[in-house]
Amino acid sequence: MKLAPLFSIGALAAASLLGCSNQSADTTDGSSATSQETTVLRFSHFWPATSSISTEVFEPWAKKIEADSDGRLKIELYPSAGLAKADVTYESAAKGTIDIGSQAHGYTNGRFPLTQITELPGLSNSASQMGCMLQTLYDDGTLVSEYEDTHLLFMYGGGPGALHTTDKLIRTPADMKGMRIRRPSAVAGDIIESAGASPVGLPANDMYTSLQRGVVDGLSFPWEAVTAFKIDEITKYHTNIPFYSSALMVTMNKDKYDTLPDDLKKVLDENSGMALASKVGEVFDKHDQMAIQAAKDKGDEIIEIPDPLSDPDWKGPLEKGTQKYLSDVKALGLDADGVYEKAKAASAACKV
């Protein structure tokens, strides 16, 4: 007599559990609840949290992707190389240690030899032009082979790199002899060496203390980054010469991208590419001008060399550095000259 109530209770419990299971498996529109879950993507980059690219590009970008995906994609930002060191961010994204990463190509010299051709002098006079040139060469397939182990989201470029020093104004290459200058890439390093200085490789996050301690006498850096990394607190002399530009990228772990449903891939794709390259360029160009004005207001000494390839003092070292880099890339069996010509064409098409 006691078995009947027990059976009834058990049946009701089973029916209740079955009902809950069905409810979690199916939503009112027939899609699975699993597809509505949030996928968190960890994005590590080397820029400070207060930098213009972090506050005006990466943060709004993350919020837009979350909104466009109805909350199903959430990007967690880790600035100041929070999850991966600045010089291994790309490899960390490739291996899946992080989901998304942003790195300057020059931090891993030799890894992106064709892409870094775009950094050569005379190809770019603004961050907008540099980003457009990079993204154009990726979109037309010229640079695709260097990113096959990740899913590239977008390229971007820094503004022209000037020379910023602590104790001495550099007017001509002769003034650089014996100086230790931080170089951001092999391209800039070849030019610095051609001018008689010693190029020193340092990640951006280490530059402030290196200048403080006298490890380096100055650095080559875009103006926006001078304020972003607080280099303006230490440097007093500036040679405003566009002798190189930095190439940078935002890329994603390939497996992570491939496992996303098509509609979420579409959200990422529609918020990537040339639109983002252009946005970064707009932000960087604005802050470059703000940084230059701030240096003037501070009373820093600035010398202008707007066209170094036509300057009798600077033309020789810049051309020598350019030829050295192209020769080094050709020695790898790569079509350096062909990519250089394509970069020139993209540069002209992207000129602001």
Q: Rounded distance, CA 307 to CA 244, Å?
A: 12
**Residues shown for the chain:** 352
163-197 per-position pLDDT tens digit: 999 999 999 999 999 999 998 888 888 889 988 89
pLDDT at 352: 73
339-349 per-position pLDDT tens digit: 999 999 999 99
pLDDT at 115: 98
Q: Does pLDDT of 34 surpass 80?
A: no
pLDDT at 16: 39
Confidence at 67, pLDDT banded by 50, 70, 90: very high
Average pLDDT over residues 1-22: 38
The closest alpha carbon to 157, from 247, 244, 267, belongs to: 247
The closest alpha carbon to 236, from 286, 299, 308, 289, belongs to: 299
What pTM was estimated for this model as a whole? 0.86
Residue 131 vs residue 244, higher pLDDT: 131
Angle at 257 between CA 256 and CA 260, to 5 degrees: 90
CB 245 within 8 A of CB 191: no
- Set out the domains of the chain in order of their start, with CATH numbers: 36-350 (3.40.190.170)
Q: What is the mean pLDDT of the chain?
A: 90
Residue at token pair 């006079």:
125
SS3 149: coil
Of the candidate ranges 23-32, 71-80, 119-128, 242-251, the one whose mean pLDDT is the lowest:
23-32
Q: Rounded distance, CA 5 to CA 167, Å?
A: 92
Tokens for 159? 């503004």
Q: Does pLDDT of 321 surpass 50?
A: yes
Residue at token pair 């350096």:
336
The closest alpha carbon to 111, from 93, 87, 135, 127, belongs to: 87
Tokens for 145? 């082979």
C-alpha distances in Å from residue 90, one per residue of 83, 87, 163: 12, 8, 27
Q: Does pLDDT of 202 surpass 90?
A: no
Q: Report which DSSP code applies to 189.
A: H
- DSSP states of 99-143: SEEEEEGGGGTTSSTTGGGGGSTTS-SSHHHHHHHHHHHHHTTSS
**Backbone torsions φ then ψ of 168, nearest 5 degrees:** -150, 135
Average pLDDT over residues 243-258: 96
CB 119 within 8 A of CB 187: yes
112-144 per-position pLDDT tens digit: 999 999 999 999 999 999 999 999 999 999 999
Confidence at 256, pLDDT banded by 50, 70, 90: very high
Average pLDDT over residues 276-285: 98
Q: Rounded distance, CA 49 to CA 152, Å?
A: 23
% of the chain at pLDDT higher than 70: 90
224-243 per-position pLDDT tens digit: 999 999 999 999 999 999 98
Q: Rounded distance, CA 273 to CA 262, Å?
A: 17
SS3 178: coil
Q: Rounded distance, CA 177 to CA 269, Å?
A: 47
